[in-house]
């Protein structure tokens, strides 16, 4: 009987995680703990030789409805991240992106985080509830093929020269000294 109860509890927990909105939050919280261990670090290998050219042909709209265009950020280092509220790994890396934004966002590094939720209000409510202050947009038109990723989250770093400096598919802790040094080196900012 005890084994049956244990299996029932496990199945209930798995059903909770799989079939409820709160399950995504719980999984995100658990994965955030994994990120804190340092096991999942952001890629900082800069493909200097044959780096792919970035696309700036992307119309954006802030969660408040303000239009923007990626072209206006040409010539700057860009941290571009795709995410969704239903994606637990996306939620797990958000606190690290927020801390990174607080540390380097005023150093000329542009943050473009793109909510891929079907409804803008869903992303806005999540961001507001968590108190995140990094810029969040939605794509306002076609997404360039270069940024259509089958994996969420996916992050691209674009150099001021318009090259993809790195691409990371999956969750990562971006709030590391190495990643900050990487961004600052691209932006040609003295590392403190």
Q: What does the pLDDT look like over 101-134, one tens digit per residue? A: 999 999 989 999 999 999 989 999 999 999 999 9
Give the chain's domains with CATH numbers: 2-187 (3.40.30.10)
For each of the chain's 192 residues, which pLDDT tens digit applies?
667 767 666 666 556 656 666 666 666 666 666 656 665 556 555 544 567 999 999 999 998 899 999 999 999 999 999 999 999 899 999 999 999 999 999 998 999 999 999 998 999 999 999 999 999 999 999 999 999 999 999 999 999 999 999 999 999 999 999 999 999 999 987 655
What is the pTM (predicted TM-score) of this model?
Answer: 0.80
User: Residue 192 in 3-state DSSP?
Assistant: coil
What is d(CA 135, CA 91) in angstroms, rounded to the nearest whole number? 15
Whether 170 and 153 have beta carbons less than 8 Å apart is answered as yes
Whether 85 and 123 have beta carbons less than 8 Å apart is answered as yes
Contacts of 82 (CB under 8 A, 6+ apart): 114, 116, 147, 149, 152, 153, 154, 155
| Residue 63, token pair as written in the block | 């969660």
């Amino acid at each position: 009987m005890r084994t049956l109860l244990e299996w029932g509890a496990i199945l209930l927990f798995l059903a909770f995680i799989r079939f409820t909105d709160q399950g995504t939050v719980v999984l995100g919280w658990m994965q955030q703990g994994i990120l804190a261990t340092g096991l999942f670090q952001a890629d900082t290998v800069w493909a200097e030789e044959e780096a792919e050219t970035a696309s700036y042909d992307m119309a954006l709209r802030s969660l408040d409805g303000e239009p923007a265009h990626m072209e206006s950020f040409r010539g700057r280092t860009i941290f571009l991240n795709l995410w969704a509220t239903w994606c637990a790994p996306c939620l797990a890396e958000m606190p690290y992106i927020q801390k990174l934004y607080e540390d380097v966002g005023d150093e000329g590094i542009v943050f473009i985080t793109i909510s891929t939720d079907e409804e803008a209000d869903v992303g806005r409510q999540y961001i507001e509830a968590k108190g995140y202050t990094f810029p969040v947009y939605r794509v306002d038109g076609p997404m360039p093929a270069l940024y259509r990723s089958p994996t969420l989250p996916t992050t691209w770093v674009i150099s001021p020269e318009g090259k993809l400096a790195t691409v990371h598919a999956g969750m990562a802790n971006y709030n590391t000294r190495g990643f900050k040094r990487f961004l600052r080196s691209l932006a040609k900012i003295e590392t403190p």
